[in-house]
């Protein structure tokens, strides 16, 4: 069965090897933001003969083909998500590591305006919010020592 991303790859004219098929499948099924190691872990479960180097190479390939997008969440390793048309950003739950995506047209407009005021045209941007759930934010939220 050909996965969503595999179809996309073929559309883009990428040579479809067994490894790329497996990685595409893994990424199609992922609903989180896995890093390379995690993608490899999942890929190996489908076909044990996939090396981490190939995962690295394939992620870069898919990124260049704009099939996936790299997300730098400041934890020192690259994470990935499927490429989407709309710009969105991430709220990271510092307690659990959960990542919540959100979009805000107003925010986009405001950034656009700020850049313009500074004499610049935006070619890219990223916003990350680190937070703790409101309900249990009372205890150690104040001196939560994060190194984002």
Partner DNA sequence: ATCATACTGAAAACCGTTCGCAATCCCAGA
Partner DNA sequence: TCTGGGATTGCGAACGGTTTTCAGTATGAT
| In the complex, minimum distance from the CB of residue 96 to a second copy, in angstroms, rounded to a whole number | 11
Work out whether 56 is an interface residue with a second copy (CB under 8 A).
no
Candidate residues 10, 19, 44, 130; the one interacting with a second copy per rule CB under 8 A: 130
Rounded CA-CA distance 137/131 in Å is: 9
Q: Quick check: 82 and 68 in contact, CB under 8 A?
A: yes
State the DSSP string of 57-93.
HHHHHHHHTTSEEEEE-SSSSEEEEE--SS--EEEEE
Binding residues (CB under 8 A) for a second copy: these are: 70, 72, 74, 91, 93-94, 100, 102, 104, 106-107, 110-111, 114-116, 118-135, 137, 141, 144, 146-148
Residue list, annotated binding site? 87, 108, 125
């Amino acid at each position: 069965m050909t996965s969503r991303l595999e179809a996309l790859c073929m559309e883009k004219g990428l040579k479809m090897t067994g490894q790329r098929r497996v990685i595409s499948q893994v990424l199609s099924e992922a609903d989180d933001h896995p890093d390379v190691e995690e993608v490899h872990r999942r890929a190996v479960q489908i076909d044990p003969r996939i090396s981490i180097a190939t995962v690295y190479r394939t992620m870069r390939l898919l990124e260049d083909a704009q099939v996936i997008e790299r997300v730098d969440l400041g934890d020192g390793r690259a994470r990935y998500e499927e490429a989407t048309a709309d710009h969105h950003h991430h709220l990271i739950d510092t307690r659990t590591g959960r990542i919540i995506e959100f979009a805000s047209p107003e925010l986009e407009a405001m950034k656009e305006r700020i850049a313009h005021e500074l004499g610049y045209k935006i070619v890219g941007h990223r916003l990350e919010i680190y937070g703790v759930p409101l309900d249990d934010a009372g205890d150690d939220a104040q001196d939560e020592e994060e190194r984002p």
